[in-house]
Structure 1
Amino acid sequence: MIIAMLQVSPTILAALTEPTVSTLRDLIVEYGFSLSEPLTALTALQEVLDNFELDADPPIGRLGLDDERVLKKKLSQPQVSSRVLELIDQGEGPRVEFKSSIFISTKKKQFNPGISIEECVDDSLKEKVAKEIAAFLNAEGGTILFGVTDDGDLRGCEDDFSTFSSGGSPGDKADLILKQIVSQHFREPDNIFYHLKIDCVDIDGKHIVMLSVASRKQLAFLKSSKPSQLYLRVSSHALPIPYEKIEQYYNLSKL
């Protein structure tokens, strides 16, 4: 069993760098545990996850062997900081997006001296965040850094946090804010939560939020009355897919 725990399967290896989708059955097979003794296999699998400091979301013990779940690496603050700086150095791209804030209009604040932060809250930015999340879910996954400008400068999310009434640490506020956005804008929000990993880190006195999004096997739709509820990450943009092309997209990209 110790040998098995030290082995790194392809799925576990992928999960060490970014949230990765799998099923318990697939993991059991990868490690050669016996499916005829499921309780023993699941106990051994939990030991593997613990050994590599991975969480399964939803955790072992919930749902079934064939249900999709996401493996997430537990990161220390120095590890989160290192990852954030690495992504900033790489710049925006098909799997990385920078946002100056979560829902604060930085332009409105800049050009209206003396205005309160509460007056700078922009609900359209919350919807835009939801679209970006959906686009990553429907493609290959990716990462959104909040509190980072398009040029890679650290701005921080302090203004976002200051408008949020609930207490707790900056990490707690980041978690609650993003989960509220998901609940408000997504169909099946509980399932969407499984595919998200939220980390918050203080870099040079600025709180940066790193939202890691795992690719979803099923299409992720937004709650919307607009012509399209489906978004896809194309290059560095979240683009809408018209209803008439949804079936074509599903057939081509999900085979």
Structure 2
Amino acid sequence: MASSGQMEASALAVMVNERAAVNVRLALVSDAQRWQLHHGLVTLDDDAPVKERSWRYSTACFLELRLPGREVAALLRGEGHVHGLHIVCPGPLPSTASTYRLSGRQEWGRVTTPWPRTEWTLSRDTSAPHPGHGLLVGDGPSFLNFDQALSAFLHQRPHDANAGREDMWRIVLPQRAAWFPQITISPDLLTAVVEGEALDGAILELSWAAGNQSQSVDGAGTYSFALPQGLAPDSLLMLRREDQWLDWRSFPAPTYGRARDASVVWEQPGPELDVLLANGEGQHLECKQEVPQGDSRKKMLKTVAAFASRDGGTVLIGVRDDLQIVGLPEGSNVDKQELQVVDMIRDNLEPAPPYETRVIDYDGKKVLAIEVSGGGQMYAYRNGQRPEFYVRVGPNTVPARHHEIAAGFRRAPTVTAL
């Protein structure tokens, strides 16, 4: 099966109609005497319980409930009644739905599941009015605006300007035939845990540029591949049946600031650190011998802000400028030093940047990594009451220019003043 394609919207409605019941989350905006659909998330999963919720405001409504498939199919066709509300879809409905097949742990549209899934999306009419930016106060939590409420309701996460809802409908079909709940990679062994509801005839294959290994899967359990030369760059672990993939994971070289796959456990931190240091300090890497104190803190905090304002990056503490790994001071309290860094970032950067801290063990030494993701907006270092903005240019952190700051704020979420 291809990873993407198209499906007739009418056929999608028929598929939903044939379901006895589906889980659905609806985001609605008021339209005179009716409610207009802004976004619908449908999960075709008989095993997932739903906790019914209803947030109602004068201009918006958010519903989570389990409905008969025929009621949701009616909405997919343009109009229906749900929970005592008359709901219509804005503008002309698209004739086709985009189809995507995703592996387990793959995030798309802020949705991530442990197992693979197929998703269909129906785009919103571009002429449809956007919900207002006013405060939402009513029978539900209060929010600054509709977008913040939508992100909290769908994902329990803060609003992200880069995660706009261009789709009117998203239909999710979990596929638990075969999947990887966990993969462990050690210096000389890859171990994969395989689970699933239909594992007959499945093949487990590890491929890399110079070759591949494969073995039959005879049921749920643990399977291993020897790695006499370690895991090769850009390796691919595939769970398949003949020419149809069931689940997969790829293992590119570590990327600065990239979010980590929670299902993959790395037990070879030394080689990973070697890869990070291979090209030296640059656009996405800054090294510090120790946790900075006093005036030297500002330089590190400016760099964290610069990483977050662009494409992300990593600060390594316990590595000298000449890339010599010295580790954190012996006998020091690593947890306390990690907390110091967290406190520095919290007290001096606005808004809070997207980052994670972790400790890497390397030949008996401990290195503290601050992995910063690109946040899609500008992040400021607070110098007293004055915000300062920075960007990364090669190995240097420099003040952002006016046009760079303006572009960053155009990417930022819209916030309504209280």
Provide TM-score, normalisation by structure 1.
Answer: 0.59
Q: Does 1:155 align with 2:326?
A: yes
Unaligned runs of 5+ in 2: 1-44, 46-99, 123-151, 164-257, 412-418
**Partner in structure 2 of residue 42 of structure 1:** none
Aligned-pair CA distance for 1:227: 6.7
Letter in 1 for 2:373: A
**Aligned ranges 1:11-30 → 2 under 5 Å:** 12=107, 23-24=109-110
Distance 1:234 1:202 in 2: 29
- TM-aligned CA distance change 1:250 to 1:127, over 3 Å: closer
Q: 2:345 aligns with which of 177, 182, 202?
A: 182
Aligned 8 A contact 2:389 2:405 in 1: no
Letter in 2 for 1:73: D
**Partner in structure 2 of residue 215 of structure 1:** 374
Deviations 1:101-160 (A, max 9, x none): 122xxxxxxxxxxxxxxxxxx32222221111011111211111111111111111126x
Aligned 8 A contact 1:232 1:238 in 2: yes
**Aligned ranges 1:14-93 → 2 under 5 Å:** 23-24=109-110, 32-33=119-120, 61-63=155-157, 71-74=259-262, 76=265, 78-93=267-282
Q: Which has the higher contact order (CA 8 A, sep 6+)?
A: 1
Aligned 8 A contact 1:102 1:125 in 2: no
Aligned 8 A contact 2:287 2:316 in 1: yes
Letter in 2 for 1:6: S
Deviations 1:161-189 (A, max 9, x none): 83xxxx7xx3x335412211111211233
Aligned-pair CA distance for 1:238: 0.9
**Partner in structure 1 of residue 308 of structure 2:** 137
Bigger proportion of residues as helix: 1
Q: Does 1:225 align with 2:384?
A: yes
- TM-aligned CA distance change 1:198 to 1:81, over 3 Å: farther
Letter in 2 for 1:126: R
Distance 1:209 1:64 in 2: 27
Q: 1:235 aligns with which of 385, 394, 400?
A: 394
Distance 2:399 2:301 in 1: 12
Aligned-pair CA distance for 1:250: 3.5
Distance 2:405 2:351 in 1: 18
Q: Kindly report the root-mean-square deviation, in angstroms, between the aligned alpha carbons of the 2 structures.
A: 3.7
Distance 2:119 2:271 in 1: 34
Distance 2:278 2:406 in 1: 36
Distance 2:158 2:307 in 1: 26
Aligned 8 A contact 2:338 2:368 in 1: no
Distance 1:8 1:61 in 2: 15
Distance 1:181 1:64 in 2: 22
Computing the radius of gyration from Cα coordinates, the structure with the larger value is: 2
SS for the counterpart of 2:322 is coil
Aligned 8 A contact 1:101 1:146 in 2: yes
**Residues 142-151 or 77-86, more deviating:** 77-86
Aligned 8 A contact 1:228 1:241 in 2: no
Bigger proportion of residues as strand: 2
Q: Percent of counterpart pairs with the same letter?
A: 20
Provide TM-score, normalisation by structure 2.
Answer: 0.38
Unaligned runs of 5+ in 1: 13-21, 36-57, 104-121
